[in-house]
């Protein structure tokens, strides 16, 4: 018999999927861009009332400070624009055994990489960060081959032409989640160029998420590690 899925209606603007923690291993995440402060607050209240870890993406700093007055345990990653509060139960306290690496091509890509890192950590993963190791100085990532091969999954974040994901995938035995970023000059087309490079990767085992979607990459890599 299929178990009935549960959701909670929040006024007339949201149906919070409180069954997602059981179904997917991590609860519904609040994407804050385009939502009002009150909408974010009420959705967060619903999740916390059901003892679920809280993760808010694309959250502006001023709204975080307002929320923190009500939720003092809320923490904020300014680079990633992510706020989080871990529950004492379920996904917030689970520690997955493997490690996940987040590999970032350039310093300008760090905000997207940090979104992946914060997501992975809230999901209970041990994260290895390797930043500013793009293909213009390829020895920087080649020197870390032994470390990368100890990981269960790797998130690769790159703008410009996005070649780093294929290179990393060719060095390791685990799945690679590639994140194109909008960092680059005109012909980068706000991330379209690295997106196409990653989609056309010659190396098997590369999955590609949307432009600047560090959260999606971190979530997927967390499921792989789990």
Which of 7-21, 152-166, 201-215 is predicted least confidently? 7-21
Q: CATH code at 215?
A: 3.40.50.1970
Domain boundary, last residue among 92, 107, 124: 92
Domain boundary, last residue among 92, 123, 155: 92
**Phi and psi angles of residue 72, each rounded to the nearest 5 degrees, phi first:** -60, -20
Structural domain contains residue 65: yes
- Do 135 and 58 have their domain in common? no
- Do 154 and 67 have their domain in common? no
- The pLDDT score that the predictor gives to residue 45 is 85
Structural domain contains residue 2: no
- Do 166 and 183 have their domain in common? yes
Domain boundary, last residue among 92, 109, 139: 92
- Do 67 and 34 have their domain in common? yes
Report the alpha-carbon distance of residue 132 to residue 158 in Å, rounded: 10
- Do 121 and 151 have their domain in common? yes
The structure's pTM equals: 0.84
- The pLDDT score that the predictor gives to residue 83 is 92
Does the pLDDT value for residue 1 go beyond 70?
no
- Do 130 and 212 have their domain in common? yes
- Do 55 and 150 have their domain in common? no
- Do 152 and 77 have their domain in common? no
- Do 142 and 219 have their domain in common? yes
Does the pLDDT value for residue 48 go beyond 90?
no
Report the alpha-carbon distance of residue 215 to residue 43 in Å, rounded: 19
- Do 164 and 74 have their domain in common? no
In the chain, the percentage of residues whose pLDDT exceeds 70 is: 92
- Do 113 and 75 have their domain in common? no
Q: Which range marks the domain in which residue 151 is found?
A: 99-225
Structural domain contains residue 109: yes
Residue 155: closest CA among 96, 198, 190: 198
Structural domain contains residue 83: yes
Structural domain contains residue 1: no
Domain count, the chain: 2
Structural domain contains residue 3: no
- Do 136 and 117 have their domain in common? yes
Structural domain contains residue 66: yes
- Indicate the pLDDT class of residue 5, thresholds 50, 70 and 90: low
Structural domain contains residue 153: yes
- The pLDDT score that the predictor gives to residue 94 is 54
């Amino acid at each position: 018999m299929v178990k009935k899925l549960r959701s909670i209606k929040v006024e007339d603007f949201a149906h919070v999927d409180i069954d997602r923690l059981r179904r997917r291993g991590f609860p519904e995440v609040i994407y804050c861009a385009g939502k009002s402060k009150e909408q974010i607050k009420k959705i967060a209240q619903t999740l916390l009332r059901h003892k679920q870890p809280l993760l808010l993406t694309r959250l502006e700093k001023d709204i975080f400070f307002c929320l923190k007055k009500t939720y003092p345990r809320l923490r904020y990653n300014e680079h990633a624009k992510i706020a989080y509060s871990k529950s004492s139960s379920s996904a917030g306290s689970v520690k997955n055994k493997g490690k996940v690496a987040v590999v970032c091509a350039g310093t300008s890509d760090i905000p997207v990489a940090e979104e992946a890192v914060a997501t992975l950590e809230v999901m209970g993963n041990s994260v290895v960060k390797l930043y500013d190791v793009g293909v213009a100085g390829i020895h920087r990532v080649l020197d870390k081959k032994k470390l990368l091969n100890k990981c269960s999954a790797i998130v690769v974040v790159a703008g410009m032409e996005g070649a780093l994901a294929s290179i990393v995938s060719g060095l390791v035995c685990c799945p690679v989640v590639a994140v194109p970023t909008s960092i680059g000059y005109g012909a980068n087309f706000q991330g379209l160029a690295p997106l196409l490079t990653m989609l056309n990767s010659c190396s098997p085992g590369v999955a590609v998420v949307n432009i600047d979607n560090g959260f999606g990459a971190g979530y997927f890599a967390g499921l792989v590690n789990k």
